[in-house]
Amino acid sequence: MPAAWFNHYDKDVPHTIEYPEAPLWTLLESAAKRYPNQIALDFMGYTLRYLDLWKASRKFAQGLVGLGVKPGDRVAIMLPNTPQFVIAFYGTLIAGGIVVNVNPLYTPRELKHQLVDSGSETLVILNLIWPRYQEIASEVPVKRVITTGIQDCLPFPKNLLYPIKARREGRWVNLPNDPRRSAFKALLQRSAQLETPHAAKPDDVALLQYTGGTTGLSKGAMLTHRNLMANTFQSVAWFPGAKDLEGKGVMLGAIPFFHVYGMTVSMNYAIALGYKNVLLPRPEVEPSIKAIEKHHVTHFPGVPTMYVGFNNFPGIQNRKVGSVKVCISGAAALPVEVATRFEELTGGKLVEGYGLTEASPSTHCSPIMGLRKKGSIGLPMPGVDAKILGLDMQELPVGEIGELAVRGPNVMKGYWNKPEETAKTLMVDWLLTGDLARMDQDGYFYIVDRKKDMIIASGYNVYPREVEEVLYTHPAVQEAAVVGVPDPYRGETVAAFIVLNPEFKGKVQQEEIEQHCRKDLAAYKVPHIIEFRDELPKSAVGKILRRELKEIAAKER
């Protein structure tokens, strides 16, 4: 029997997908053949066409081979969204290596864990990060480091002015002569193109993508060439108009590529369709708006905090942002009011998607053109199956809350060197997400909350997302996060951290927010602690860090 959700797919969205049974690097090879002179990357005015990007990636691959990298070796890439990231990513795969994505903001401790756990012998980093690597250099298996600076991919005269500016601001790092170090730019210049790219099998690991580590040390999800290829084409298939923009679309590459969401829905998606990708090294609002105006951006994937900032940017109603056609928001719940306002401003579509590192990452999304339901993450994407499981691991009926499980060609092979953790997460071919969810009669799914984020107050279950949705309906609330904190009487109590819209600062009291919540929430769900803050702690991808807020709230009690 066909799944209920197929009835609500947009027209021309297939129920299943076809994708090449080929190494992921063939996405770039194909784009270079079809659109050799189309601009692939635009970084602060520096442009790289598809044929040149393909050549540079093969040169990087040859450089790696020359340094001693062999198929299966792990190559850690610790870079922001720059041309060097894309070249290093695809070059590593062409050489047969396994990419290890590393957040450039990581501390030496976090970097050490990831390098040791992955066994990475090669590290590609920004010059600025060298001192952090030096702190742990003797404790990690790294044998070779490839360094690069922002100036390496800037047009004249920015490439000359950037070092001057960096020195003036105290951000310049003088790199020592180290036999393990090679310069990225010099490596490309002295390397020929690798003649025969490595013919990886679909089930070979292409990427170790480390989980956020919110419950302890992060784990490396083994994502194969098949996983990443499938999720790219699942994402392409979800937007019926994507093919019409092939070779003409413009992607805003603001969401970090070192995060699996940005890597799939921005970098790989754009390359699969021959789009121009406008790269921003940081996901900031004002540069994003300027890029949309200048480049007539058609695709703007992001996270809720980016769209909140966009909606509240001074004078946004007068900016020329009407080129935007589609935006998929991921990494956190998207408040309905945020999406509605964004669509009013741009005329484009903003829908909520859902995924997780272990699924490459996308599994669900609301229809771009069709029915969207308040609070829903939408429907399983083509090729994805999903169900809700009870405590006994049996499927639950429609409407009941349990753990969301998914399966499909995008689901990981397992965790790197962690068979016990893999066994807890993969049940036959089903991935247990750790998220509490429900499904309605139409096949729309709703994330109630993370298992670990659920608050139990006086024996009642409180789901932070539900409380946050009510908070966002108050006009003064710009951002909100709800967590549970220990309480001697109730077990846990509900705490809300709120960033007010600028025009409401100093004009709204905690009592007003509490009364607003009482209109739509049962008494046990109403926040007992309400704190106004200038900003909320966020990860590099813009996801609000509930764990830090819980620690703050616990200390203050």
Domain CATH for 487: 3.30.300.30
User: Higher confidence at residue 538 or residue 49?
Assistant: 49
Nearest to 75, CA basis, from 133, 115, 23: 115
Judgement on whether residues 463 and 329 belong to the same structural domain of the protein: no
Whether 97 is in a domain gets the answer yes
Tens-place pLDDT, residues 367-418 = 999 999 988 999 999 999 999 999 888 999 999 999 999 999 999 999 999 9
Tokens of 45: 């005015």
Tokens of 378: 């939408």
**How far is 139 from 129, CA to CA, in rounded Å?**
16
Judgement on whether residues 435 and 491 belong to the same structural domain of the protein: no
| Total-model pTM | 0.84
Average pLDDT over residues 143-168: 87
Whether 215 is in a domain gets the answer no
Tens-place pLDDT, residues 445-500 = 998 866 677 787 766 667 787 788 889 999 999 999 999 888 766 678 899 999 99
> Distance from first CA to last CA of the chain, Å, rounded?
54
pLDDT at 441 over 70: yes
Judgement on whether residues 128 and 193 belong to the same structural domain of the protein: yes
**How far is 421 from 114, CA to CA, in rounded Å?**
17
Q: DSSP per residue over 360-387, as a string?
A: SSEEEE--SSS---TT--BEEPTT-EEE
Tokens of 523: 């008494």
**Which range of residues forms the domain containing residue 183?**
26-199
The domain boundary, picked from 199, 215, 235, lies at 199
Judgement on whether residues 285 and 165 belong to the same structural domain of the protein: no
Whether 91 is in a domain gets the answer yes
Judgement on whether residues 400 and 483 belong to the same structural domain of the protein: no
Instruction: Report the sign of the C-alpha dihedral through residues 519, 523, 525, 527, in that order.
Output: positive
Tell me how long the chain is.
557
pLDDT computed for residue 214 by the predictor = 38
Whether 211 is in a domain gets the answer no
**How far is 215 from 264, CA to CA, in rounded Å?**
24
**How far is 379 from 366, CA to CA, in rounded Å?**
6
**How far is 458 from 436, CA to CA, in rounded Å?**
20
Whether 477 is in a domain gets the answer yes
pLDDT computed for residue 522 by the predictor = 77
Whether 219 is in a domain gets the answer no
Whether 207 is in a domain gets the answer no
Interior angle at CA 333, CA 332 and CA 338, nearest 5: 115
Judgement on whether residues 186 and 128 belong to the same structural domain of the protein: yes
Judgement on whether residues 9 and 69 belong to the same structural domain of the protein: no
Tens-place pLDDT, residues 318-368 = 999 999 999 999 877 788 888 999 999 999 999 999 999 999 999 999 999
Tens-place pLDDT, residues 6-49 = 999 999 999 999 999 999 999 999 999 999 999 999 999 999 99
509: which residues sit within 8 A by CB, 6+ positions away? none
Judgement on whether residues 510 and 422 belong to the same structural domain of the protein: no
Judgement on whether residues 103 and 188 belong to the same structural domain of the protein: yes
Whether 316 is in a domain gets the answer yes
Contact criterion met (CB below 8 Å) for 302 and 274: no
Judgement on whether residues 408 and 426 belong to the same structural domain of the protein: yes
User: Higher confidence at residue 421 or residue 305?
Assistant: 421
> How many structural domains are present in the chain?
3
Judgement on whether residues 267 and 399 belong to the same structural domain of the protein: yes
Judgement on whether residues 51 and 173 belong to the same structural domain of the protein: yes
